[in-house]
Amino acid sequence: MNLPLMNRRSGDGKKRVTSSVAGSGTVDDRYEEGRLAQRQADKWLIAGALLIGANGVAGTLGLPLFLWGLKLQRDASKAGLTVRPIMVTLIGYLVIVDAGLNLQGWILDMVANHSLIYRVLYTAIGNVMDGGYFWHYNQLWIGGAAAPGEKGWEFACILVVFPMRIAAAIAFLQMKRWGQQWLLVTCWFGVVIWVGYVMNMTEYADVRYAHVVFPVLGWWIFDIMYITPFLAIPYLHTVNRDIFSE
Amino acid sequence: MSTPTAGQQSPANGKSTDEDLAPGTTKQWAGLHKWLKRGLMVCLVGLVIEGSFDLPFLAIWYGWPTLSMHDICSELMKVRYNNESLECQYPYRFPGPPLSGAPEAAAVDTARDKWGIQPVPEYPRLGFRELVRMHDERIARQNAANNIAPHP
Protein backbone atom coordinates (compact mmCIF):
# COMPACT_ATOMS: atom_id res chain seq x y z
CA MET A 1 0.00 0.00 0.00
CA ASN A 2 1.19 3.52 -0.71
CA LEU A 3 0.87 5.41 2.51
CA PRO A 4 0.10 9.10 2.97
CA LEU A 5 2.95 11.12 1.57
CA MET A 6 2.15 14.51 3.00
CA ASN A 7 4.94 14.67 5.52
CA ARG A 8 7.45 13.07 3.18
CA ARG A 9 6.68 15.02 0.02
CA SER A 10 5.07 18.27 0.98
CA GLY A 11 6.57 19.04 4.35
CA ASP A 12 9.67 21.16 4.75
CA GLY A 13 11.72 18.25 6.00
CA LYS A 14 11.87 19.38 9.60
CA LYS A 15 8.84 17.30 10.50
CA ARG A 16 10.51 14.13 9.34
CA VAL A 17 13.48 14.68 11.56
CA THR A 18 11.26 15.52 14.51
CA SER A 19 9.14 12.42 14.06
CA SER A 20 12.13 10.14 13.85
CA VAL A 21 13.59 11.66 16.98
CA ALA A 22 10.30 11.30 18.85
CA GLY A 23 9.86 7.74 17.64
CA SER A 24 11.70 4.61 18.51
CA GLY A 25 13.94 4.41 15.46
CA THR A 26 14.76 5.75 12.04
CA VAL A 27 12.27 7.10 9.57
CA ASP A 28 12.34 3.77 7.77
CA ASP A 29 11.57 1.91 11.00
CA ARG A 30 8.65 4.19 11.71
CA TYR A 31 7.42 3.82 8.15
CA GLU A 32 7.57 0.04 8.47
CA GLU A 33 5.78 0.23 11.81
CA GLY A 34 3.02 2.28 10.21
CA ARG A 35 2.73 -0.14 7.31
CA LEU A 36 2.29 -3.07 9.69
CA ALA A 37 -0.24 -1.18 11.81
CA GLN A 38 -2.23 -0.35 8.69
CA ARG A 39 -2.10 -3.94 7.55
CA GLN A 40 -3.35 -5.14 10.92
CA ALA A 41 -6.24 -2.65 10.88
CA ASP A 42 -7.09 -3.57 7.28
CA LYS A 43 -7.50 -7.23 8.18
CA TRP A 44 -10.29 -6.31 10.60
CA LEU A 45 -11.76 -3.75 8.24
CA ILE A 46 -11.86 -6.19 5.32
CA ALA A 47 -13.40 -8.96 7.44
CA GLY A 48 -16.01 -6.53 8.79
CA ALA A 49 -16.81 -5.09 5.36
CA LEU A 50 -17.21 -8.56 3.84
CA LEU A 51 -19.66 -9.59 6.55
CA ILE A 52 -21.60 -6.32 6.26
CA GLY A 53 -21.68 -6.73 2.48
CA ALA A 54 -22.84 -10.33 2.84
CA ASN A 55 -26.11 -8.88 4.11
CA GLY A 56 -28.39 -10.65 6.56
CA VAL A 57 -27.53 -11.22 10.18
CA ALA A 58 -23.83 -11.44 9.22
CA GLY A 59 -23.89 -7.64 9.09
CA THR A 60 -24.36 -7.36 12.84
CA LEU A 61 -21.28 -9.53 13.29
CA GLY A 62 -19.37 -7.49 10.75
CA LEU A 63 -19.99 -4.09 12.33
CA PRO A 64 -17.95 -4.71 15.53
CA LEU A 65 -15.06 -6.10 13.48
CA PHE A 66 -15.16 -3.06 11.23
CA LEU A 67 -15.28 -0.64 14.19
CA TRP A 68 -12.39 -2.48 15.84
CA GLY A 69 -10.34 -2.05 12.65
CA LEU A 70 -11.14 1.68 12.70
CA LYS A 71 -10.05 1.88 16.33
CA LEU A 72 -6.74 0.14 15.59
CA GLN A 73 -6.12 2.59 12.79
CA ARG A 74 -7.01 5.60 14.91
CA ASP A 75 -4.71 4.38 17.69
CA ALA A 76 -1.87 3.97 15.21
CA SER A 77 -2.51 7.45 13.88
CA LYS A 78 -2.49 8.91 17.40
CA ALA A 79 0.77 7.10 18.09
CA GLY A 80 2.27 9.11 15.25
CA LEU A 81 2.51 6.27 12.75
CA THR A 82 2.03 6.94 9.06
CA VAL A 83 -1.32 5.33 8.35
CA ARG A 84 -4.18 6.08 5.99
CA PRO A 85 -6.49 8.94 7.11
CA ILE A 86 -9.67 7.70 8.79
CA MET A 87 -11.83 9.52 6.25
CA VAL A 88 -10.13 7.76 3.34
CA THR A 89 -10.66 4.44 5.09
CA LEU A 90 -14.31 5.13 5.86
CA ILE A 91 -15.13 6.38 2.37
CA GLY A 92 -13.18 3.65 0.61
CA TYR A 93 -14.74 0.77 2.51
CA LEU A 94 -18.23 2.22 2.65
CA VAL A 95 -18.31 2.93 -1.04
CA ILE A 96 -17.33 -0.69 -1.65
CA VAL A 97 -20.01 -1.95 0.76
CA ASP A 98 -22.62 0.38 -0.76
CA ALA A 99 -21.77 -0.62 -4.33
CA GLY A 100 -21.50 -4.29 -3.31
CA LEU A 101 -24.95 -4.32 -1.73
CA ASN A 102 -26.50 -2.62 -4.75
CA LEU A 103 -24.65 -4.89 -7.12
CA GLN A 104 -25.72 -7.99 -5.21
CA GLY A 105 -29.35 -6.88 -5.04
CA TRP A 106 -29.66 -6.03 -8.70
CA ILE A 107 -27.71 -9.01 -10.05
CA LEU A 108 -29.94 -11.32 -8.00
CA ASP A 109 -33.05 -9.60 -9.34
CA MET A 110 -31.66 -10.13 -12.81
CA VAL A 111 -30.56 -13.79 -12.63
CA ALA A 112 -31.92 -15.30 -9.39
CA ASN A 113 -35.46 -13.96 -9.59
CA HIS A 114 -36.99 -17.45 -9.33
CA SER A 115 -35.14 -18.56 -6.21
CA LEU A 116 -37.53 -18.88 -3.28
CA ILE A 117 -35.61 -16.57 -0.96
CA TYR A 118 -35.49 -13.72 -3.46
CA ARG A 119 -39.05 -14.16 -4.64
CA VAL A 120 -40.06 -13.68 -1.01
CA LEU A 121 -37.54 -10.96 -0.16
CA TYR A 122 -38.05 -8.84 -3.25
CA THR A 123 -41.80 -9.12 -3.61
CA ALA A 124 -42.22 -8.55 0.14
CA ILE A 125 -39.96 -5.51 0.16
CA GLY A 126 -41.74 -4.38 -2.99
CA ASN A 127 -45.09 -4.72 -1.27
CA VAL A 128 -43.78 -2.76 1.72
CA MET A 129 -42.21 0.24 0.02
CA ASP A 130 -41.65 -0.05 -3.73
CA GLY A 131 -44.36 -1.59 -5.90
CA GLY A 132 -41.85 -1.80 -8.74
CA TYR A 133 -40.62 -5.00 -7.11
CA PHE A 134 -44.12 -6.40 -6.61
CA TRP A 135 -46.19 -5.32 -9.61
CA HIS A 136 -46.14 -8.08 -12.28
CA TYR A 137 -43.01 -9.56 -10.68
CA ASN A 138 -41.56 -12.40 -12.78
CA GLN A 139 -43.73 -11.65 -15.77
CA LEU A 140 -41.24 -9.87 -18.02
CA TRP A 141 -39.27 -12.25 -20.25
CA ILE A 142 -36.18 -11.52 -18.16
CA GLY A 143 -38.08 -12.05 -14.89
CA GLY A 144 -37.77 -10.05 -11.69
CA ALA A 145 -38.94 -6.48 -11.22
CA ALA A 146 -41.21 -5.29 -14.02
CA ALA A 147 -41.40 -1.57 -13.22
CA PRO A 148 -40.91 0.59 -16.32
CA GLY A 149 -37.23 1.40 -16.77
CA GLU A 150 -36.02 -0.67 -13.83
CA LYS A 151 -34.11 -3.24 -15.82
CA GLY A 152 -32.36 -0.48 -17.76
CA TRP A 153 -31.01 1.01 -14.53
CA GLU A 154 -30.03 -2.42 -13.26
CA PHE A 155 -28.14 -3.30 -16.40
CA ALA A 156 -26.25 -0.01 -16.63
CA CYS A 157 -25.27 -0.05 -12.97
CA ILE A 158 -24.29 -3.73 -12.87
CA LEU A 159 -22.12 -3.45 -15.96
CA VAL A 160 -20.68 0.03 -15.64
CA VAL A 161 -21.08 2.05 -12.49
CA PHE A 162 -20.65 -0.33 -9.58
CA PRO A 163 -17.69 -2.39 -10.83
CA MET A 164 -15.95 0.84 -11.82
CA ARG A 165 -16.65 2.37 -8.44
CA ILE A 166 -15.39 -0.67 -6.55
CA ALA A 167 -12.17 -0.72 -8.60
CA ALA A 168 -11.68 3.00 -7.94
CA ALA A 169 -12.35 2.57 -4.21
CA ILE A 170 -9.73 -0.18 -3.94
CA ALA A 171 -7.14 2.10 -5.56
CA PHE A 172 -8.35 4.94 -3.31
CA LEU A 173 -7.72 2.78 -0.26
CA GLN A 174 -4.24 2.14 -1.64
CA MET A 175 -3.80 5.93 -1.69
CA LYS A 176 -3.34 6.06 -5.43
CA ARG A 177 -4.11 9.28 -7.29
CA TRP A 178 -6.14 7.51 -9.97
CA GLY A 179 -8.27 5.96 -7.23
CA GLN A 180 -9.19 9.41 -5.94
CA GLN A 181 -9.86 10.72 -9.45
CA TRP A 182 -11.96 7.76 -10.57
CA LEU A 183 -13.85 7.61 -7.31
CA LEU A 184 -14.81 11.19 -7.97
CA VAL A 185 -15.98 10.27 -11.47
CA THR A 186 -17.99 7.25 -10.33
CA CYS A 187 -19.48 9.05 -7.33
CA TRP A 188 -20.77 11.72 -9.73
CA PHE A 189 -22.22 8.82 -11.74
CA GLY A 190 -24.10 8.14 -8.51
CA VAL A 191 -25.70 11.57 -8.69
CA VAL A 192 -26.84 10.83 -12.25
CA ILE A 193 -28.28 7.50 -11.10
CA TRP A 194 -30.17 8.98 -8.18
CA VAL A 195 -31.60 11.91 -10.11
CA GLY A 196 -32.60 9.69 -13.04
CA TYR A 197 -33.92 6.89 -10.84
CA VAL A 198 -35.98 9.16 -8.61
CA MET A 199 -37.42 10.94 -11.67
CA ASN A 200 -38.30 7.56 -13.18
CA MET A 201 -40.02 6.52 -9.96
CA THR A 202 -41.91 9.80 -9.86
CA GLU A 203 -43.02 9.39 -13.48
CA TYR A 204 -44.45 5.96 -12.65
CA ALA A 205 -45.45 6.75 -9.08
CA ASP A 206 -48.67 4.72 -9.31
CA VAL A 207 -46.77 1.53 -10.14
CA ARG A 208 -44.20 2.21 -7.44
CA TYR A 209 -46.41 3.40 -4.61
CA ALA A 210 -50.09 2.54 -5.11
CA HIS A 211 -51.30 0.23 -2.31
CA VAL A 212 -47.86 -0.41 -0.82
CA VAL A 213 -47.52 -0.52 2.97
CA PHE A 214 -45.12 2.44 3.47
CA PRO A 215 -45.19 4.48 0.28
CA VAL A 216 -42.59 7.17 -0.57
CA LEU A 217 -41.37 7.87 2.97
CA GLY A 218 -40.64 4.16 3.50
CA TRP A 219 -38.54 4.12 0.34
CA TRP A 220 -36.63 7.22 1.38
CA ILE A 221 -35.93 5.97 4.90
CA PHE A 222 -34.60 2.71 3.49
CA ASP A 223 -32.64 4.13 0.60
CA ILE A 224 -31.21 7.25 2.18
CA MET A 225 -28.55 5.02 3.78
CA TYR A 226 -27.15 4.49 0.29
CA ILE A 227 -25.99 8.09 -0.09
CA THR A 228 -22.39 7.29 0.87
CA PRO A 229 -21.13 8.26 -2.59
CA PHE A 230 -22.79 11.67 -2.17
CA LEU A 231 -20.96 12.20 1.11
CA ALA A 232 -17.73 11.17 -0.58
CA ILE A 233 -17.97 13.87 -3.26
CA PRO A 234 -17.28 16.93 -1.06
CA TYR A 235 -14.39 15.12 0.61
CA LEU A 236 -12.86 14.06 -2.68
CA HIS A 237 -13.02 17.64 -3.94
CA THR A 238 -11.53 19.18 -0.79
CA VAL A 239 -8.93 16.63 0.30
CA ASN A 240 -5.33 17.68 -0.16
CA ARG A 241 -4.37 15.65 -3.20
CA ASP A 242 -0.71 15.54 -2.22
CA ILE A 243 -1.49 12.63 0.09
CA PHE A 244 -2.15 10.38 -2.93
CA SER A 245 0.67 8.88 -4.92
CA GLU A 246 1.01 8.92 -8.70
CA MET B 1 -7.20 23.87 -7.56
CA SER B 2 -4.26 24.62 -5.36
CA THR B 3 -4.87 23.45 -1.84
CA PRO B 4 -2.57 24.60 0.93
CA THR B 5 -0.70 21.74 2.53
CA ALA B 6 -0.43 21.18 6.24
CA GLY B 7 3.17 22.23 6.18
CA GLN B 8 2.35 25.59 4.61
CA GLN B 9 -0.25 26.64 7.14
CA SER B 10 0.35 28.40 10.36
CA PRO B 11 -1.70 28.32 13.56
CA ALA B 12 -4.32 31.06 13.73
CA ASN B 13 -5.17 32.89 16.96
CA GLY B 14 -3.27 30.33 18.96
CA LYS B 15 -6.04 27.78 18.39
CA SER B 16 -5.60 24.20 17.21
CA THR B 17 -2.80 23.78 14.72
CA ASP B 18 -2.74 21.67 11.58
CA GLU B 19 -0.81 19.10 13.57
CA ASP B 20 -4.22 18.08 14.98
CA LEU B 21 -5.71 17.57 11.55
CA ALA B 22 -5.72 14.27 9.69
CA PRO B 23 -3.49 14.08 6.62
CA GLY B 24 -5.39 15.44 3.65
CA THR B 25 -7.62 17.67 5.78
CA THR B 26 -6.75 21.34 5.73
CA LYS B 27 -8.01 23.75 8.32
CA GLN B 28 -10.29 25.34 5.76
CA TRP B 29 -12.23 22.10 5.32
CA ALA B 30 -11.85 20.55 8.77
CA GLY B 31 -15.47 21.30 9.76
CA LEU B 32 -16.84 19.86 6.53
CA HIS B 33 -14.78 16.70 6.91
CA LYS B 34 -15.95 16.27 10.51
CA TRP B 35 -19.61 16.38 9.46
CA LEU B 36 -19.02 14.12 6.50
CA LYS B 37 -17.44 11.59 8.85
CA ARG B 38 -20.51 11.69 11.08
CA GLY B 39 -22.76 11.20 8.07
CA LEU B 40 -20.68 8.26 6.91
CA MET B 41 -20.91 6.61 10.33
CA VAL B 42 -24.70 7.02 10.29
CA CYS B 43 -24.85 5.42 6.84
CA LEU B 44 -22.60 2.57 7.98
CA VAL B 45 -24.76 1.76 10.99
CA GLY B 46 -27.94 2.27 8.95
CA LEU B 47 -26.82 -0.11 6.23
CA VAL B 48 -25.89 -2.75 8.79
CA ILE B 49 -29.25 -2.46 10.58
CA GLU B 50 -31.15 -2.61 7.29
CA GLY B 51 -29.10 -5.47 5.91
CA SER B 52 -29.46 -7.47 9.11
CA PHE B 53 -33.10 -6.95 9.86
CA ASP B 54 -34.95 -6.46 6.59
CA LEU B 55 -35.51 -10.16 5.89
CA PRO B 56 -36.59 -11.05 9.47
CA PHE B 57 -38.85 -7.99 9.58
CA LEU B 58 -40.47 -8.82 6.25
CA ALA B 59 -40.83 -12.50 7.11
CA ILE B 60 -42.64 -11.67 10.35
CA TRP B 61 -44.81 -8.96 8.74
CA TYR B 62 -45.95 -11.39 6.06
CA GLY B 63 -46.69 -14.32 8.34
CA TRP B 64 -43.59 -16.35 9.24
CA PRO B 65 -43.37 -18.63 11.19
CA THR B 66 -47.12 -19.39 10.90
CA LEU B 67 -46.63 -19.45 7.16
CA SER B 68 -43.54 -21.01 5.62
CA MET B 69 -41.42 -19.06 3.14
CA HIS B 70 -43.04 -21.08 0.37
CA ASP B 71 -46.51 -20.15 1.70
CA ILE B 72 -45.57 -16.46 1.84
CA CYS B 73 -44.24 -16.63 -1.71
CA SER B 74 -47.49 -18.23 -2.91
CA GLU B 75 -49.76 -15.88 -0.94
CA LEU B 76 -47.98 -12.85 -2.32
CA MET B 77 -48.35 -14.29 -5.81
CA LYS B 78 -52.09 -14.82 -5.31
CA VAL B 79 -52.46 -11.20 -4.19
CA ARG B 80 -50.24 -9.88 -6.97
CA TYR B 81 -52.15 -11.63 -9.73
CA ASN B 82 -55.57 -11.69 -8.05
CA ASN B 83 -55.68 -15.42 -8.61
CA GLU B 84 -56.10 -17.96 -5.81
CA SER B 85 -55.04 -20.87 -7.96
CA LEU B 86 -51.45 -19.67 -8.36
CA GLU B 87 -48.66 -21.28 -6.35
CA CYS B 88 -44.97 -20.44 -6.28
CA GLN B 89 -43.20 -23.26 -8.05
CA TYR B 90 -40.61 -24.60 -5.69
CA PRO B 91 -38.05 -25.94 -6.29
CA TYR B 92 -37.80 -24.19 -9.61
CA ARG B 93 -36.01 -26.01 -12.40
CA PHE B 94 -32.41 -24.96 -12.90
CA PRO B 95 -31.38 -22.93 -14.77
CA GLY B 96 -34.70 -21.13 -14.78
CA PRO B 97 -35.60 -17.86 -16.43
CA PRO B 98 -34.03 -15.68 -17.70
CA LEU B 99 -31.40 -18.26 -18.65
CA SER B 100 -33.93 -20.78 -19.93
CA GLY B 101 -37.68 -20.91 -20.34
CA ALA B 102 -40.38 -18.36 -19.65
CA PRO B 103 -40.80 -16.74 -16.24
CA GLU B 104 -43.40 -18.25 -13.93
CA ALA B 105 -46.01 -15.54 -14.49
CA ALA B 106 -45.53 -15.27 -18.26
CA ALA B 107 -48.95 -16.70 -19.10
CA VAL B 108 -50.87 -15.22 -16.17
CA ASP B 109 -53.36 -12.55 -17.21
CA THR B 110 -55.48 -12.17 -14.10
CA ALA B 111 -53.72 -9.20 -12.48
CA ARG B 112 -56.03 -6.25 -11.95
CA ASP B 113 -54.72 -2.95 -13.21
CA LYS B 114 -56.16 0.27 -14.49
CA TRP B 115 -54.31 0.11 -17.79
CA GLY B 116 -53.17 3.16 -19.70
CA ILE B 117 -50.03 5.15 -20.31
CA GLN B 118 -49.57 5.21 -16.54
CA PRO B 119 -50.89 1.91 -15.21
CA VAL B 120 -52.32 1.83 -11.69
CA PRO B 121 -52.14 -1.47 -9.79
CA GLU B 122 -55.32 -2.54 -8.04
CA TYR B 123 -54.08 -5.17 -5.64
CA PRO B 124 -55.07 -4.56 -2.01
CA ARG B 125 -52.75 -3.03 0.54
CA LEU B 126 -51.53 -5.71 2.96
CA GLY B 127 -51.48 -5.05 6.68
CA PHE B 128 -49.46 -6.70 9.43
CA ARG B 129 -49.78 -10.50 9.07
CA GLU B 130 -52.79 -10.08 6.84
CA LEU B 131 -51.50 -12.89 4.64
CA VAL B 132 -52.05 -15.32 7.54
CA ARG B 133 -55.70 -14.29 7.76
CA MET B 134 -56.13 -14.53 4.01
CA HIS B 135 -54.43 -17.92 3.96
CA ASP B 136 -56.58 -19.29 6.80
CA GLU B 137 -59.80 -17.94 5.34
CA ARG B 138 -59.07 -19.47 1.97
CA ILE B 139 -58.27 -22.86 3.49
CA ALA B 140 -61.49 -22.71 5.55
CA ARG B 141 -63.45 -21.77 2.43
CA GLN B 142 -61.94 -24.60 0.44
CA ASN B 143 -62.60 -27.06 3.24
CA ALA B 144 -66.22 -25.91 3.51
CA ALA B 145 -66.63 -26.32 -0.23
CA ASN B 146 -65.29 -29.83 0.02
CA ASN B 147 -67.39 -30.53 3.15
CA ILE B 148 -64.33 -31.29 5.21
CA ALA B 149 -64.89 -30.74 8.92
CA PRO B 150 -62.47 -28.28 10.54
CA HIS B 151 -59.85 -29.71 12.84
CA PRO B 152 -61.27 -29.91 16.41
pLDDT attached to residue B151:
61
pLDDT attached to residue B152:
59
pLDDT at residue A199 greater than cutoff 80 = yes
* pLDDT, mean of residues B48-67: 89
pLDDT band of A1, cuts 50, 70, 90: low
- Stretch among A16-25, A132-141, B60-69, B71-80 having the lowest mean pLDDT: A16-25
B26: closest chain A residue by CA: A240
pLDDT attached to residue A14:
42
Instruction: Provide the mean pLDDT of chain A.
Output: 87
Quick check: A101 and B47 CB within 8 A? yes
* pLDDT, mean of residues B54-83: 92
Tell me if chain A has a CB within 8 Å of the CB of B101. no
Tell me if chain A has a CB within 8 Å of the CB of B116. no
> Which of A84, A102, A126 is the C-terminal boundary of a domain?
A84
pLDDT attached to residue B150:
59
Residues A7 and A120 in one domain: no
b/e per residue A1-14 (b: at least 16 CB within 10 A)? eebbbbbeebbeee
Residues A131 and A201 in one domain: yes
pLDDT, tens digit, for every residue of B94-113?
A: 787 878 888 999 999 999 99
* pLDDT, mean of residues B19-38: 89
Residues A114 and A203 in one domain: yes
pLDDT attached to residue B73:
94
pLDDT, tens digit, for every residue of A8-64?
A: 444 444 444 344 444 456 778 888 888 899 999 999 999 998 888 876 777 788 889
Give the Cα separation of B76 and A105 in Å (integer): 20
pLDDT at residue B2 greater than cutoff 50 = no
Partner residues linked to A245 by β-bridges = A176
Report the gap between the CA of A195 and the closest CA in chain B (Å): 19
Residues A111 and A229 in one domain: yes
Residues A19 and A138 in one domain: no
Best of B3, B5, B93 to substitute, by most chain A Cβ atoms within 10 angstroms, is B5
B123: closest chain A residue by CA: A211
ipTM summary value: 0.81
Residues A231 and A179 in one domain: yes
Quick check: A117 and B122 CB within 8 A? no
pLDDT at residue A168 greater than cutoff 90 = yes
Quote the percentage of chain B above a pLDDT of 90: 50
Residues A133 and A235 in one domain: yes
Tell me if chain A has a CB within 8 Å of the CB of B112. no
State how far the alpha carbon of B18 is from the alpha carbons of A107, A131, B11, B28, B35, in Å.
45, 51, 7, 10, 18
b/e per residue A218-228 (b: at least 16 CB within 10 A)? bbeebeebbbb
> Which of A65, A84, A103 is the C-terminal boundary of a domain?
A84
What is the DSSP-derived secondary structure letter of residue B31? H
For residue A77, which of B23, B40, B8 has the smallest C-alpha distance?
B23
pLDDT attached to residue A53:
82
Q: Is A24 part of any domain?
A: yes
Tell me if chain B has a CB within 8 Å of the CB of A204. yes
Residues A225 and A114 in one domain: yes
pLDDT, tens digit, for every residue of B44-56?
A: 888 888 888 888 8
* CB-CB neighbours of B141 under 10 Å: 11
pLDDT band of A81, cuts 50, 70, 90: confident
Q: Which residues form the domain of A245? A: 94-246
> Which of A54, A84, A114 is the C-terminal boundary of a domain?
A84
Q: Is A89 part of any domain?
A: no
Number of domains in chain A: 2
pLDDT at residue A82 greater than cutoff 80 = yes
pLDDT attached to residue A15:
42
pLDDT, tens digit, for every residue of B99-148?
A: 888 899 999 999 999 999 999 999 999 999 999 999 999 999 888 888 76
Residues A58 and A155 in one domain: no
